[in-house]
Amino acid sequence: KKWFGDEKKSMSASIGNSFYDYLGIDYGDYMTIANLNIRTEPSVSAKKVATVRIATILKVAVNDMKIEADGHIWHKIKYGDSHCYVAGKYLKEVKR
C-alpha cells in the first residue's frame, strides 16, 4: 500500500511508498543482546510478530520518538515491510 498524504481529499497522487519514507525516518543498525520479542505495539501484552535470536541486527528508527510503557523504553523498528516495536534495553548500537 502507498501513503497518499491526506486520503480524505484525494487518492490521485502518491507522495511515496510509506508515511515513514515521506518523513525521512533514519534507521540505525542495532544488535540484540538477548533473544527478543518483536511486537505490533509498544506493550508486553501486544501481539508478538516474531522472536529473534541474540546477535540479530535490526533496523531501529533513530530519529523517531521512543515510547515508555510497561517498564520498558520501546523502539520502533523496520521488520520486513512493517514497523514494529522492541524493548530497547535488549539492543546495542552497532558502530561502523
- Of 6, 1, 88, 96, nearest to 39 (Cα)? 88
Give me 5's grid cell.
Answer: 498524504
Please state the pTM of the whole predicted model: 0.73
pLDDT at 38: 97
pLDDT at 49: 95
- Of 39, 46, 92, 88, nearest to 67 (Cα)? 88
- Of 39, 36, 85, 33, nearest to 61 (Cα)? 85
Which residues, at least 6 apart from 71, have a Cβ–Cβ distance to it below 8 Å?
none
Inter-residue contact 77 to 61 (CB < 8 Å): yes
Question: For the residues of 11-34, what is the DSSP string, one character each?
Answer: -SS---S-HHHHHT--EEEEEESS
pLDDT (tens place) for every residue of the chain, 96 residues total? 454 555 454 444 455 555 555 556 778 899 999 999 999 999 999 999 999 999 999 999 887 778 899 999 999 998 888 889 999 999 999 987
